Amino acid sequence: MPSELPVNILLVDDHAENLLALEAILHSLGQNLVRATSGAQALRCLLNQDFAVILLDVQMPEMDGFDTATLIRQRERSRHTPIIFLTAFSTNESMVFKGYSLGAVDYLFKPIEPEILKSKVAAFVDLFQKTAEVERQAAQLAALNASLQKSEEQFRSLCVNSPIGIFLTDASGNCTYTNPRYQTILGISGEECLNKGWLRSLAPQDRENIFADWASCAQQGKEYYNEFTILTPEGDVRWLTLRSSPMLADRKEVIGYVGTVEDISDRKRAEEERAKLIREQAALKEAEAANRMKDEFLATLSHELRTPLNSILGWSKLLRNRKLDEKATARALETIERNALLQEQLIEDILDVSRIIRGKLFLNICPVNLVTVIDAAVDTVRLQAEAKNLAFEFVIAPNEAGSIDEVRKKAKKTRENNGYVSVASHLASPFMVSGDPDRLQQVVWNLLSNAIKFTPQNGRVEIRLSTIKGKEIKDSYAQIQVSDTGIGIQSDFLQYVFDRFRQADGSTTRSHTGLGLGLAIARHLVELHGGTIHAESPGEGKGATFTVKLPFLEAKTQESAETAEETAAVTIPKLPLQDLRLLVVDDDTDTRHFLTVALQQAGAEVTSVNSVKEALAAIQQYPLDILISDIGMPEEDGYTLIRKVRLLPPEQGGRIPAIALTAYAREEDAKEALEAGFHMYASKPVEPIKLIDAIVKLAELNYPN
Residue among 44, 65, 47, 45 at smallest CA distance from 56: 65
What pLDDT, on a 0 to 100 scale, did the predictor assign at position 502?
56
Axis crossing angle, helix 437-453 with helix 518-528, rounded to the nearest 10:
150
Lowest mean pLDDT among 14-28, 193-207, 244-258, 611-625: 193-207
CA distances from 47 to 27, 44, 312 (A): 24, 5, 138
| Long-range contacts of residues 382-388, Cβ cutoff 8 Å, at least 24 apart | 384/449, 384/452, 385/452, 385/461, 388/452, 388/455, 388/456, 388/457, 388/458, 388/459
Check pLDDT > 70 for residue 484: yes
- Residue 448's pLDDT is 93
pLDDT, position 494: 85
Q: Which of 361-370, 406-415, 512-521 has the least mean pLDDT?
A: 406-415
Q: What is the torsional sign of CA 617, 618, 624, 630? A: negative
Residue 205 pLDDT grade (very low, low, confident, very high; cuts 50, 70, 90): confident
The answer, yes or no, to whether residue 557 has pLDDT greater than 50, is no
Contact between 582 and 626 under an 8 Å Cβ cutoff? The reply is yes
pLDDT of 358 over the 80 cut: no
3 state DSSP class of 610: coil
- The per-residue pLDDT for range 190-201, each reduced to its tens digit, is 777 777 776 777
Cα gap 396→427, rounded to integer Å: 10
Q: Are 245 and 259 in contact (CB under 8 A)?
A: yes
Please classify residue 268 by burial: count the beta carbons closer than 10 Å to its beta carbon, then call 0-12 exposed, 13-18 middle and 19+ buried: middle
Percent share of the chain, pLDDT over 90 = 17
Whole-number pLDDT of residue 643:
92
Which domains does the chain possess? 8-137 (3.40.50.2300), 162-263 (3.30.450.20), 276-358 (1.10.287.130), 366-569 (3.30.565.10), 581-702 (3.40.50.2300)
- Cβ 99 vs Cβ 58: under 8 Å: yes
**Amino acid letter for position 528:** L
- Number of neighbouring beta carbons within 10 Å of residue 565: 19
How far apart are the C-alpha atoms of 624 and 636, rounded to whole Å?
21
Confidence of residue 641 (pLDDT cuts 50, 70, 90): very high
E strands present in 331-380: 366-369
Cα separation of 294 and 308, whole Å?
A: 22
Higher-scoring residue by pLDDT: 469, 457: 457
- Residue 607: what pLDDT? 92
Residue 22 confidence (pLDDT) above 70: yes
* Lowest-pLDDT choice from 1-15, 250-264, 400-414, 549-563: 400-414
What integer pLDDT is reported at residue 225 of this predicted model? 85
Instruction: Tell me how crowded residue 515 is: count the other CB atoms within 10 A of its CB.
Output: 12
CA distances from 338 to 315, 328, 331, 334, 347 (A): 12, 15, 10, 6, 14
Tell me the Cα Rg of the chain. Answer: 55
Residue 322, phi-psi category: left (phi > 0), alpha (psi -120 to 50), beta (remainder): left
**207 CB-near residues (< 8 Å, 6+ apart):** 199
Question: pLDDT of 609-635, one tens digit each?
Answer: 999 999 999 998 888 999 999 988 888
Per the rule left: phi > 0, alpha: psi between -120 and 50, beta: everything else, 653 is: left
Confidence of residue 349 (pLDDT cuts 50, 70, 90): very low
DSSP E strands, 611-657 = 626-630
Distance CA(146)–CA(139), nearest Å, equals 10
Residue 457: band (very low, low, confident or very high) from pLDDT cuts 50, 70, 90: very high
Are 199 and 207 in contact, with CB atoms under 8 Å apart? yes
Return the H-helix or E-strand segment holding 608. Answer: strand 605-609
Strands (E), 208-302: 224-231, 237-248, 254-263
Q: Give every strand in the sheet of 532-536, ordered side by side.
A: 391-396, 460-468, 477-484, 544-551, 532-536
User: Is pLDDT larger for residue 239 or for residue 546?
Assistant: 546
Please say whether the beta carbons of 21 and 15 come within 8 A: no
pTM above 0.75, yes or no: no
What pLDDT score does 290 carry?
A: 63
> Would the pLDDT of 185 be above 60?
yes
- pLDDT at site 321: 81
Per-residue pLDDT, averaged over 179-186, amounts to 82
Separation of alpha carbons 95 and 309, rounded Å: 152
**Of the ranges 171-175, 427-431, 437-441, 677-681, which one carries the lowest mean pLDDT score?**
427-431
Task: Choose among 332, 342, 335: nearest CA to 304.
Answer: 342
309-323, 461-475, 549-563, 623-637: least confident range: 549-563
Q: Write the CA distances from 664 to 242, 326, 372, 638, integer angstroms.
A: 60, 37, 32, 12
Q: What per-residue confidence (pLDDT) applies to 658? A: 93
Residue 518, C-beta contacts closer than 8 angstroms, at least 6 positions apart: 446, 449, 450
Is residue 506 pLDDT above 90, yes or no? Answer: no
What phi and psi, each to the nearest 5 degrees, are found at residue 153? -65, -40
Taking 90 as the threshold, does the pLDDT of residue 463 lie above it? yes
- Check residue 576 and give its pLDDT: 63
Backbone angles phi, psi at 532, to 5 degrees: -135, 160
pLDDT of residue 402: 47
Whose CA is closest to 34, among 25, 26, 45, 24? 45
The rounded distance, in Å, linking the Cα atoms of 334 and 642 is 38
pLDDT tens digits for 135-171? 888 888 888 888 888 877 777 777 777 778 888 888 7
Amino acid at site 668: E
Question: For residue 423, is pLDDT > 50?
Answer: no
* Three-class SS state of 701: helix
Average pLDDT, the chain: 79
Query: Which run of H or of E encompasses 56?
Result: strand 53-57
**What sections of 631-683 are H helices per DSSP?**
638-646, 667-676
Q: Per-residue pLDDT for 411 more than 70?
A: no
Cα–Cα–Cα angle for 596, 602, 606, nearest 5°?
35
| Helices 404-418, 370-387: inter-axial angle, 10-degree rounding | 110
CA atoms of 479 and 397, how far apart (whole Å): 10
Report the distance separating Cα 213 and Cα 505, nearest Å.
35
DSSP 422: -
Of the ranges 210-224, 475-489, 490-504, 568-582, which is most confident? Answer: 475-489
pLDDT attached to residue 340:
82
**Does 426 score more than 60 pLDDT?**
no
DSSP H or E stretch at residue 659: strand 658-662
Of 59-73, 154-168, 343-357, 655-669, which range is least confident?
343-357
CA distance 417 to 70: 149
Angstrom distance (rounded) from CA 119 to CA 290: 114
Tell me what pLDDT residue 569 has. Answer: 40
| Residue 258 confidence (pLDDT) | 86
> Would you place residue 481 in the very low, low, confident or very high pLDDT band (cuts 50, 70, 90)?
very high
**3-class DSSP state for residue 510?**
helix
Q: Write the Ramachandran bin of 173: left for phi over 0, alpha for psi from -120 to 50, otherwise beta.
A: left
- Confidence grade of residue 353 (pLDDT, cut at 50, 70, 90): very low
